[in-house]
Amino acid sequence: MDKELKSKDGVILTKGAVIREPGSTKKYKTGDWRTFKPSIDQEKCIKCGKCWLNCPDAAIYKDKDGKFQINYDYCKGCLICAKVCPVKAIGFVVEEK
Amino acid sequence: MKQIIFLGRGGQGAVTSSQVLAISAFIDGKQSQAFPNFGVERTGAPVRSYCRIDDKKINLREQLKEADYALILDPTLTKNLNEKITSLIIVNSNKKPVDLGLQTNAKVICIDITKVAMEKIGKPFVNISALGAFAALTNEITLESLEKAVLQQMGAKGSIVEKNIEAVREVYKISKNDLQK
Amino acid sequence: MVEKKVMSGSEAIALAVKLCKPLVLPMYPITPSTLVPEKLSEFVANGELNAQMIYVESEHSAISALYGAYATGVRSFTATASQGLALMHEIIPIVSASRFPAVMFIANRALSGPLSIWNDHSDSMSERDQGWIQLFCEDIQEAFDTIIMAYKIAEKENVSLPIMVCADGFILTHVYEPVQIEEQEKITDFVGTYNPKDFLDTKNPKTFGAFAQPNTYFEFKEQVQDAMMEALKEIKNVNEEFGKKFKRKYGDGLIELIEMQDAEYALLIAGSTIGTAREVVKDLRKKGKKVGLIKLKSVRPFPTKELILASKKLKGLGIIDRHISLGYEGALCTETKAALVKEKVNVTGFIAGLGGRDIDRERIRHAFDLIINGKEGVWLK
């Protein structure tokens, strides 16, 4: 009964606008919203995890060596990480696109 | 169709009284409708409630402008009866009808329902017992259906129900005697 | 057991809801919706109904919790009126856009300003654009039956829209009159079980309430409109099925025609006023006047085709609105005029019953007098 309808540009229109595939926001890469690009100086980093905890987009992760890294696919460049870093290990540059 | 107006004071149970009458008439095999004159509930304020009884389905939803009967639970409310009553006005009072100052062509009968309530229930609960007078004086409902209706409406309320039914029977008896006088 | 009993409108409605077995009952238990939730909480407390009552802190929360309950895929219910419905406004269109087949009882009451607790239709009329089906009731038997039909209509796969069952506050909610209460088994069989395809489930995660960009929002609204058009058919079907099973039905489900076969003049009315108008029509018919009534049961979806068929041969049609769209006229009047724009019938509107003003036989007779004499509608004050 639930006919598969599509918008003119091919988006599937489910009944009630339900998105049946979980985690679909992952496909929506917000990294290109960025004006400022932060980076972590691993030499200075004390691995306190404050940046990881405070990132509103969960774009900071711990890699297999225990280092904190930034996922630039989703980092919007808000620089909260730089602000909260107690040892000023996070700097930033203007994004070049 | 028969129309009945109930006058009472907030908390006296005039609305319940009209509801029990509607249930009673329905048990007798008639169609009925009861509804309050919609207002904000305030203890002690004059309250109006209505009942309609008919052999056919009742479609009317308008408020009553006149009625066949009026049942006045508090004698101080006689002056609040603005509606034309065509048949009978029953007043809970120990006075004589002429002393009430009612301007009406309808017959007026006073029954001291409060006295019976005090004897049988121990409290001045007159709303249910007053229907005993209504049943006796109008023959619109039977005492049997009235007792069933009281049970249906108040069934969950325990010993007060039996006391009310006793009071209903007593008021019924007094009213029947009053008719023969 | 089938049982015919004299009871209050609110109790009859609560009983109908109980018999449909909702699982979640978010309620803001204060006037004006008091008695229906009160009865339902009694049923839950004494074990007659296995449901979760949620005592919320406002009507906004009640409808939000109703949304949440439907997102988990269970049949639910709430009730409100007047300011309570107005407070729900923000969430009302979200429920319909999510295509949740919620059922909500509206005890129609005036919107405040000045403060009023009495009946009129300004609360639900103000919500008629939000994708909810709106079904009005004439008496409490119809309100009982409409709750049961509402679950069946709402849960039809091709409808999947929420429904407001509207009955006049006080006039129907507080009246005591005979109601036939149907058997649980028959109602369960009629309504069926609710098994939605999409619901919140940790094993199969889905997103509800996602945002739609300009490339899709338009189409989602179009889907709701299409579902409304489907509802026009399904309301009729369910009314027929109900008639077969319970030996009662309400016109064609959308409108009911009263003395309309040869009528030259008619009034169109929604809600309990139809009852009083029936008596006026009987009287006028005895006097040889060819008058009739159109009872509008479904305000949304609006039964345009049925109204054209019912009234194209009339000389005059009056609409009694228990509501006014301030700055213009009664909403039902505007909508009926639009439906009949290509017909010759003279349509005029009356405003009546605002804020609990009685609509008596005299006022209805006056309305008939005016349309029979080709006069314009007035305020029946």
Domains of chain A by range and CATH?
A: 5-94 (3.30.70.20)
Among candidate residues C365, C339, C340, the one with its CA nearest the CA of residue C352: C365
Strand order in the sheet with C298-300: C77-80, C103-108, C163-168, C133-136, C298-300
- Partner-chain residue, chosen from A5, A9, A18, that has the shortest CB–CB distance to C206: A18
- Partner-chain residue, chosen from A5, A9, A22, that has the shortest CB–CB distance to C205: A22
Q: Which residue of A has its CA nearest to C213?
A: A11
- Partner-chain residue, chosen from B23, B35, B59, that has the shortest CB–CB distance to C278: B59
Average pLDDT of the residues in C8-25: 97
> CB distance B26–C6 less than 8 Å?
yes
> pLDDT of C48-61, one tens digit each?
999 999 999 999 99
- Please tell me if residue C117 touches chain B, with a CB cutoff of 8 Å: yes
> pLDDT of A12-49, one tens digit each?
899 999 999 888 888 889 999 999 999 999 999 999 99
Average pLDDT of the residues in C308-331: 97
Average pLDDT of the residues in B144-165: 90
User: C311 — phi, psi (to 5°)?
Assistant: -120, 0
pLDDT at B90: 97
Asked if residue C376 has pLDDT above 70, the reply is yes
Rg of chain B taking only CA atoms, in angstroms: 15
> pLDDT of C351-365, one tens digit each?
999 999 999 999 999
pLDDT at C31: 67
- Please tell me if residue C3 touches chain B, with a CB cutoff of 8 Å: no
Average pLDDT of the residues in C148-159: 98
Q: H or E segment at B147?
A: helix B143-154
| pLDDT category of residue A7 using cuts at 50, 70 and 90 | confident
Asked whether the beta carbons of B7 and B71 are under 8 A apart, the reply is yes
Burial of C378 (0-12, 13-18, 19+ CB in 10 A): middle
Q: Enumerate the H helices of C155-288 as residue ranges.
A: 184-191, 217-246, 273-286
Q: CB neighbours of C5 closer than 8 A, spacing ≥ 6? A: B23, B26, B152, C178, C179, C181
C377: helix, strand or coil? coil
Domain edges within chain B: 2-180
- Partner-chain residue, chosen from B32, B33, B62, that has the shortest CB–CB distance to C361: B62
Q: Closest Cα of chain B to C330: distance in Å?
A: 21
- Chain A environment of C157 (Cβ under 8 Å): 1-2
- Please tell me if residue C279 touches chain B, with a CB cutoff of 8 Å: yes
- Chain A environment of C154 (Cβ under 8 Å): none
pLDDT at A5: 83
Identify whether C301 is preceded by a cis peptide bond (ω within 30 of 0). yes
Interface test with C, best of B17, B33, B42, B62 (most C CBs within 10 A): B62
Chains in contact with C via at least 3 Cβ–Cβ pairs below 8 Å: A, B
pLDDT at A3: 60
Chains A and C touch (3+ CB pairs under 8 A): yes
> CB distance A11–C208 less than 8 Å?
no
- Please tell me if residue C8 touches chain B, with a CB cutoff of 8 Å: yes
| pLDDT category of residue C279 using cuts at 50, 70 and 90 | very high
**Mean pLDDT over each residue of chain C, to the nearest integer:** 96
Token readout for C77 is 């219910």
Q: In the beta sheet, which residues pair with residue B107?
A: B88
| pLDDT category of residue B178 using cuts at 50, 70 and 90 | confident
Of chain B, the percentage scoring pLDDT greater than 90 comes to 87
C203 half-sphere exposure, CB direction, 13 A CA radius: 0
Asked whether the beta carbons of B127 and B12 are under 8 A apart, the reply is yes
Domains in chain C, please, with CATH? 3-246 (3.40.50.970), 255-380 (3.40.50.920)
pLDDT at A1: 44
> pLDDT of B53-90, one tens digit each?
999 999 999 999 999 999 999 999 999 999 999 999 99
The residue behind tokens 């009056």 is: C318
Interface test with C, best of A14, A15, A21 (most C CBs within 10 A): A15
Of chain C, the percentage scoring pLDDT greater than 90 comes to 96
> CB distance B18–C176 less than 8 Å?
yes
Q: CB neighbours of C241 closer than 8 A, spacing ≥ 6? A: C152, C190
> pLDDT of C19-28, one tens digit each?
999 999 999 9
Count of CB pairs separated by less than 8 Å, A with C = 54
- Please tell me if residue C178 touches chain B, with a CB cutoff of 8 Å: yes
- Please tell me if residue C134 touches chain B, with a CB cutoff of 8 Å: no
Chains A and B touch (3+ CB pairs under 8 A): no
- Chain A environment of C158 (Cβ under 8 Å): 1
Asked if residue C64 has pLDDT above 50, the reply is yes
CATH architecture, domain defined by B2-180: 3-Layer(aba) Sandwich (3.40)
Kindly report the pTM of this predicted structure: 0.94
B95: helix, strand or coil? coil
